[in-house]
């Protein structure tokens, strides 16, 4: 989920459940008392509740998420004992029956995903089931608001990662505040989607406890796994209760204060960098440590920077973002290169064979970039968000909605199999953070398409559908019709409730302007045959670019049509020479889609192929393949082992598919980066 | 050094310095009082002082060690501040001026090496210089015997690895007892070689302090880096003072008792396995953790097992030895496969590209196998010792005596360079354990050639020279004449002082009987054209084999000649299929020598060659090459990159040199294991 809860007070008007109207009105009244002081992002995302998709790319995935992933996820929460943990906590009897103390969050995250999903697929049975779960969650909450089944079940036998006392090991591995953070995120989404307060009440009670224990003038801790900071900001934006924001900020500012680390050590566990706890956040300039923790931290830094006007915090999070896009992100948008510690590597450490790329880290990266956009209003953040969304994030979930990658490989060859890297998807993991994170991210995508700022409307993503956008208390309907990401021909119909002058800021992706994303690390060696063209009501118009947006500032009338042509040539991508593993190699991109070659389409092998400069590629949409994908084809030289002592070179047909679509047809070789020529060969031996 | 000090009391008769004779006689008298109770190995090595080499393989190395390595090592101890540390400690003023608290030991180890060396190369100037060093060492010793410059210089500013109090961090990294252990080893060698007590007195004073602090009924610790145990056993065997043996045993038995480790962790630093401190030694069955620490521990276990008749300890050390030879030793005798922690890997984890193989670990393995032989009298231990000595150990020192490997690579290719692996030798290292360990090992080799047991004489190594061996208080001179390791034709002349019946146990190496060493991990696919033949006084004799020895039991007269022919065919070695990295590969061996192919002899490249089953090899001794080596030649298929998109197979001349001799002619590719055929190829890309 991202900032779909921005328009906290406005969105309450649109809740569907009339029964909760009185509550909502009361909330509005209470909140308006503090509203005067409430600082928020100057740019606000249009909430997911206002955006309906009817496209062929995302809607089927959201539908599969609704019909397959969410039920399967709840079923697994039941079958593995995650639900039972709450029941036992309510009864104060039994023994914690799953593995990790953060297993509670899989329930919260699935409720969050289901809440987003209900906005597109109203589903009474699902809503009722969620209510029964919320009852169990509420029953497991201790009278003062504490909620952490791993302790409440039997306080004398807490989880080994938790201390004897509450919060005692929060800086390390107890995850007590991590659980709280996910509770808040779920509660806000659930309230926004349903208007029901049942989970929100639990969250408020817990947040009030957390803020009575921690925060300015009270106890301090740098939470061992960040997310409570993001959650508290959401709670603040929904309720206007300022102590939530203050405590979030306090959690951030406590980082880098612990004296027990060995700052001279290079071991990220010993020097605190694993937890981003090595130096104060405002002094941090580099993305380090566990990538999911980092992504959630940087998201919260953007939140707090914006909401408290903290210039130092802005400077820090801007620098860290620069560090990631200049030195630490894969071409498919994945982050967290190193398996040992699931963490960021050194600058330019982006190996292909061992690329870890946790799915959760891609999701965290989406959260973070959305917030960076809201903070600065620049399309470059959405460029990174789009890259991650269409490539390194959705690769993490199979098209059946029931199979997942925890890691997202960049290269699988028969010659080299690293034990960390998954060659095929799994149904579930003991540590199931990734599947439930996917469950909540996929249906939240409608919340990323539009944003508003005063009387401007930002169009960030291109997805067919209808949206209802409020600016200056008036409503504008925008209808998108396109075949994105396969076609760059985009149509928008603008239907203001009455003629109105406002600026439409239409994102022109970096890749459509000849820049690979991010351009510090990657570039195109090819140039487009077309230029970006914009027509309004059939006439080509000149347009001004500002921060990556084509600014269409005019008086709009109902039925106004915008047509945009984004060039979708096949691009050869090369990497910065500092990326050792990509040297003298090429990747392929078309539109926002990064390609890979998989064994299935290439005579069972892809590591034998060379892609020299002169290969001529063609492209074609294949409806029956992998739910419909645009493939790229060419003829390339390849190596053939004729006998155990004889090798030769042949011409071979090359077929590339979108990276996100790999690993749906059995396991075998896959590569993203192809050698442009042979300098040398390593022999894999055989009798 | 190994057990050259075995015959503690006997060897004193042969000391060369008449001035110390009175002292020696006194020592003999004192020691004889305790001698009645003193248990020792039933097999005793013939001390280095009794064996003189005149061969072309080892003597030049010992000479170079004497003329180049030892002076250079002392010079570096002076230049780096290691000597100055002792001077400052004596003055209780200044600041420790080197890096590691164990830097003291480089001086001890060089004195030890110089002492061995003086036995072959008497050198008054060197002896006097050592005396001045010993004066400085003695002056740095505190009144109660404590000797550790990193604390004595300024007890208020000890090294960060040392505690505020003495011994406080001995279980971790202080190395206080490690320094003591090397002091004892040096003192015993120095006393044996020179008859002087100056260093021995320092050692006794320190050992008495150590034994007054630690041992049965006193404090206990599992020393963080073993070696004090070996050193104390040597002190016991020299002086007969039983508390030294008891304290050594106590140090061993303290291992595995520390409650502060996390036994559930797989991290060897957290579970204690790095220090072999994870379980009690008598329960240990697998070689784990830092390989040098381990080798010193297992050496001491063999010592204590033998000297205290401890059957449980015998069982443990036997099992660990089995584990190493069945699962954890490289084909060139190296141990400690993993760079991270310089430690043993998992069973069968013997990767080539990242093989760590610390030179010190090879040396520790030699110490250990010598003791295993003394304990059990089986030639299989000398087979492993010989393999390590002629291959993975001497590879660690360049023929100039002034360049060293800390790690000993198994494979260097242009396609894969691991940062841990050295492609060329260095003059010295900040952590200079390996150079000074080599300095003391090389001149100690005369002490490994012979051993005695009652009236039996063991001939373990084949080195031209003359020895003077005592059995039953009579003396037997044995003269060896051979061109080992290049020729398997061995000649021995047996000169007893008068005709005498005794058993000569002549080691017949496993490799000469068709077994690769160790046979659990490696085997020959070829068989020898000859059989082992033994002639006595010109007549072929039948002989009985016992524990790897040909037993020649007869009445020997002065001038009796033994001739032995060991077949020296070129053997194709294959590895156990569980060694993943060696699958479908072959290594080459001739006699005890393991071969490698180096870029210099193979058209600048070796990773392009295939060595199929049908290659016909020839061999030739090349006097001008690398101080004279036997090379192996053949014609093999190889891969050639003709253009960046075209590959073909050619026929190429293949030349292999002894592994130990690589890296003397610049840096480039080197391989030990060659593919027998091509199954697949990995492309190294180029424009």
pLDDT single digits (tens) A359-386: 999 999 999 999 999 999 999 999 999 9
Q: Across-strand partners of B411?
A: B671
Q: Within 13 Å, how many C-alpha atoms sit on residue B277's CB side?
A: 27
Which residues does chain B have within 8 Å of residue A610's beta carbon, measured at their own beta carbons? 644-645, 683
Residue B256 has pLDDT above 90, yes or no: yes
Is the pLDDT at B16 greater than 70, yes or no? no
Which pLDDT band holds residue B472 (cuts at 50, 70, 90)? Answer: confident
Query: What is the mean predicted confidence (pLDDT) over A519-540?
Result: 92
3-class SS string, A545-583: EECCEEEEEEEECCCEEEEEECCCCEEEEEECCCCHHHC
**CA–CA distance, B26 with B12 (Å, rounded to integer):** 11
Give the residue numbers in B contacting A (CB under 8 Å), as ranges: 413-416, 583-585, 607-608, 610, 612, 637, 639, 641, 644-649, 675-687
Which secondary structure element, helix H or strand E, spans residue B554, and what is its range?
strand B549-556
Please state, as a whole number, how many other Cβ atoms lie within 10 Å of the Cβ of residue A527: 9
- C-alpha A242, offset from chain centre: 27
Binned at pLDDT 50, 70 and 90, residue A609 comes out as: very high
| C-beta of residue A661 within 8 angstroms of C-beta of residue A685 | no
Contact A510, A548 (CB under 8 A): yes
Amino acid A33: pLDDT: 44
Measured CA angle at B226 (ends B220, B229), to 5 deg? 70
Residue B271 sits at the vertex; the CA angle it makes with B269 and B276, to the nearest 5 degrees, is 80
> How sure is the predictor about A427, in pLDDT bands with cuts at 50, 70 and 90?
confident
In chain A, residues with a C-beta closer than 8 Å to the C-beta of B412 are none
Mean of the pLDDT values across residues A646-660? 97
Residue B21 has pLDDT above 70, yes or no: no
Task: Give the span between the Cα atoms of A397 and A428, in whole angstroms.
Answer: 11
Report pLDDT for B529. 78
**Structure-block tokens of residue B297:** 């521990």
Q: What are the two backbone dihedrals, phi and then psi, of residue A119, each rounded to the nearest 5 degrees?
A: -65, -35
Helix (H) or strand (E) holding A8: helix A8-11
Tokens representing A574?
């090369």
CB contact under 8 A, A647 and B649: yes
**Band of the pLDDT at B424, cuts 50, 70, 90?**
confident
- Express each pLDDT in A50-107 by its tens digit: 999 999 999 999 999 999 999 999 999 999 999 999 999 999 999 999 999 999 999 9
What does the pLDDT look like over A531-560, one tens digit per residue? 999 999 999 999 999 999 999 999 999 999
User: Could you identify the residue written with the tokens 């539009």?
Assistant: A450
pLDDT in tens, A400-425: 999 999 999 999 998 776 666 687 88
> How many CB atoms are closer than 10 A to CB A478?
23
Dist CA B41 CA B307 (whole Å): 6
Question: What residues does B196 pair with on adjacent strands?
Answer: none
The whole-number pLDDT of residue A24 equals: 46
Which candidate, A324, A319, A410, A404, places its Cα nearest to that of A364?
A324
SS (H, E, C) A403-415: CECCCCCCEECCC
C-alpha B589/C-alpha B525 separation (Å) is 11
Confidence of residue A352 (pLDDT cuts 50, 70, 90): very high
Q: How far is A414 from chain B (nearest CA, A)?
A: 9
Per-residue H/E/C for A250-261:
HHHHHCCCCCCC
Q: Which phi and psi (to 5°) does residue B160 adopt? A: -65, -20
Which pLDDT tens digit goes with each residue over A449-494? Answer: 999 998 899 999 999 999 999 998 889 999 999 999 999 999 999 9
CA dihedral A319, A322, A324, A330 (to 10 degrees): 180
Q: Does residue B554 have a pLDDT over 80?
A: yes
How many beta-carbon pairs under 8 angstroms link A with B? 138
Task: Kindly list the residues from chain A whose CB atom is less than 8 angstroms away from the CB atom of residue B416.
Answer: 682
Question: What's the pLDDT at B465?
Answer: 98
pLDDT at B45 over 80: yes
Q: Is the pLDDT of residue A342 over 80?
A: yes
Pure H helices in A275-352: 291-307, 311-327
In this prediction, residue A416 carries a pLDDT of 75
A682 and B681 within 8 Å at the Cβ level: the answer is: yes
Chain B partners within 8 Å of A646 (Cβ): 637, 649, 678
Residue B38 pLDDT level (bands cut at 50, 70, 90): low
The secondary structure of residue A149, as a DSSP letter, is: H
CB contact under 8 A, B648 and A645: no
pLDDT over 90 at B352, yes or no: yes
Q: Terminal CA-to-CA distance of chain B, rounded, Å?
A: 54
Asked if residue A485 has a cis previous peptide bond (ω within 30° of 0), the answer is yes
- For chain A, the average pLDDT equals 93
Cβ-proximal residues to A246 (8 Å cutoff; 6+ apart), any chain:
A211, A215, A216
Which three-class secondary structure state does DSSP give residue A324? helix
Within its chain, how far is the Cα of A543 from the centroid? 31
pLDDT tier, A233 (very low <50, low <70, confident <90, very high otherwise): very high
pLDDT higher at A430 or B366: B366
pTM of the model: 0.80
CA–CA distance, A51 with A143 (Å, rounded to integer) = 39
Does residue A618 surpass a pLDDT of 90? yes
If you ran DSSP here, which 8-state letter would residue B663 be given? S
Output the pLDDT for position A529.
Answer: 78
- Rounded mean pLDDT, A37-51: 89
Least Cα separation, residue A283 to chain B (angstroms): 28
Nearest CA in chain B to A681: B683
Chain B nearest-CA residue for A650: B646
DSSP assignment of A485-522? TT--EEEEEEEESS-EEEEEEEE--GGGGT--SSTTTE
Reading across the β-sheet that carries B500-507, which strands appear in turn?
A: B44-45, B450-453, B456-459, B500-507, B549-556, B544-546
- The band of B415, judged by pLDDT with boundaries at 50, 70 and 90, is confident
Dist. CA B281–CA B285, nearest whole Å: 8
**Residues A682-686, mean pLDDT to the nearest whole number:** 90
Buried b / exposed e across A425-448, counting CB within 10 Å, b at 16+?
Answer: beebeeebbbbbbbbbbbbbbbbb
Task: Kindly list the residues from chain A whose CB atom is less than 8 angstroms away from the CB atom of residue B649.
Answer: 645-648
The minimum CA-CA distance between B581 and chain A, rounded to whole Å, is 10
Query: β-pairing, B500-507 with B456-459?
Result: parallel
pLDDT digits (tens, 9 = 90+) for A124-135: 999 999 999 999
The two tokens of residue B532 are 């082992």
CA distance B405 to B387: 18
């Amino acid at each position: 989920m991202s900032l779909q809860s921005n328009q906290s007070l406005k969105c309450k008007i649109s809740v569907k459940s009339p029964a909760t109207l009185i509550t909502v009105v009361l909330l509005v009244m209470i909140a308006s008392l503090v509203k005067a002081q409430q600082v928020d992002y100057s740019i606000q995302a249009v909430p997911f509740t206002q955006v309906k998709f009817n496209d062929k790319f995302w809607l089927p995935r959201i539908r599969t998420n609704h019909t397959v992933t969410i039920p399967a996820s709840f079923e697994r929460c039941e079958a593995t004992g995650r639900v039972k943990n709450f029941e036992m906590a309510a009864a104060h009897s039994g023994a914690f029956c799953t593995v990790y103390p953060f297993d509670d969050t899989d329930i919260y995250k699935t409720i969050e995903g289901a809440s987003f999903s209900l906005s597109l697929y109203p589903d009474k049975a699902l809503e009722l089931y969620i209510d029964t779960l919320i009852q169990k969650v509420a029953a497991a909450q201790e009278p003062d608001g504490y909620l952490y089944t791993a302790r409440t079940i039997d306080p004398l036998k807490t989880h080994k990662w938790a201390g004897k006392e509450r919060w005692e090991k929060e800086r390390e591995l107890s995850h007590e505040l991590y659980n709280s953070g996910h509770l808040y995120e779920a509660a806000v989404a659930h309230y926004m989607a349903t208007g029901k307060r049942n989970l929100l009440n639990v969250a408020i009670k817990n947040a009030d406890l957390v803020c009575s224990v921690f925060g300015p003038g009270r106890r301090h801790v740098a939470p061992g796994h960040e997310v409570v900071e993001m959650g508290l900001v959401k709670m603040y934006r929904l309720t206007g209760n300022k102590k939530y924001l203050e405590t979030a900020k306090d959690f951030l500012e406590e980082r880098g204060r612990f004296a027990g680390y060995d700052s001279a050590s290079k071991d990220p566990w010993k020097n605190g960098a694993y937890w981003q706890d090595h130096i104060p956040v405002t002094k941090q300039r580099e993305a380090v440590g566990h990538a999911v923790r980092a992504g959630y931290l940087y998201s919260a830094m953007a939140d707090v920077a914006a909401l408290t006007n903290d210039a130092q915090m802005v400077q820090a999070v801007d620098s860290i973002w620069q560090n990631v896009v200049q030195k630490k992100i894969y071409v498919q948008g994945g982050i967290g290169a190193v398996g040992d510690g699931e963490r960021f590597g050194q600058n330019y450490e982006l190996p292909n064979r061992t690329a870890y790329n946790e799915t959760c880290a891609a999701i965290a990266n989406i959260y973070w970039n959305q917030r960076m956009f809201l903070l600065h209003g620049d399309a470059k953040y959405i460029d990174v968000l789009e890259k991650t969304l269409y490539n390194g994030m959705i690769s993490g979930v199979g098209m059946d909605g029931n199979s997942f990658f925890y890691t997202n490989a960049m290269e699988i060859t028969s010659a080299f199999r690293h034990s960390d890297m998954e060659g095929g998807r799994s149904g579930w993991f003991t540590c199931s953070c990734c599947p439930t994170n996917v469950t909540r991210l996929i249906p939240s995508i409608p919340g990323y398409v539009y944003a508003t700022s005063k009387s401007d409307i930002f169009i960030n993503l291109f997805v067919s559908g209808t949206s209802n956008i409020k600016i200056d208390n008036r409503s504008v309907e925008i209808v998108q019709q396109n075949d994105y990401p396969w076609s760059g021909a985009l149509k928008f119909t603008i239907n203001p409730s009455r003629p109105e002058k406002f600026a439409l800021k239409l994102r022109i992706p970096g890749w459509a302007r000849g820049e690979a994303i991010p351009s510090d690390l990657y570039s195109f060696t090819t140039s487009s045959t077309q230029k970006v063209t914009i027509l309004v009501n059939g006439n080509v118009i000149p347009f001004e670019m500002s921060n990556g947006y084509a600014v269409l500032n005019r008086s709009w009338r109902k039925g106004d049509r915008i047509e945009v042509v984004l060039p979708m040539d096949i691009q050869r991508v090369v990497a910065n020479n500092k990326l050792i593993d990509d040297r003298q190699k090429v990747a392929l991109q078309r539109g926002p889609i990064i390609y890979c070659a998989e064994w299935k389409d290439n005579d069972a092998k892809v590591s034998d192929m060379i892609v020299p400069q002169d290969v001529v590629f063609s492209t074609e949409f294949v409806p029956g393949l992998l739910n419909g994908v645009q493939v790229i084809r060419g003829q390339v030289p390849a190596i053939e082992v004729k006998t155990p002592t004889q090798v030769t070179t042949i011409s071979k047909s090359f077929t590339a598919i979108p990276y996100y679509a790999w690993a749906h047809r059995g396991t075998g070789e896959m590569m993203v980066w192809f050698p442009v020529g042979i300098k040398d060969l390593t022999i894999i031996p055989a009798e």
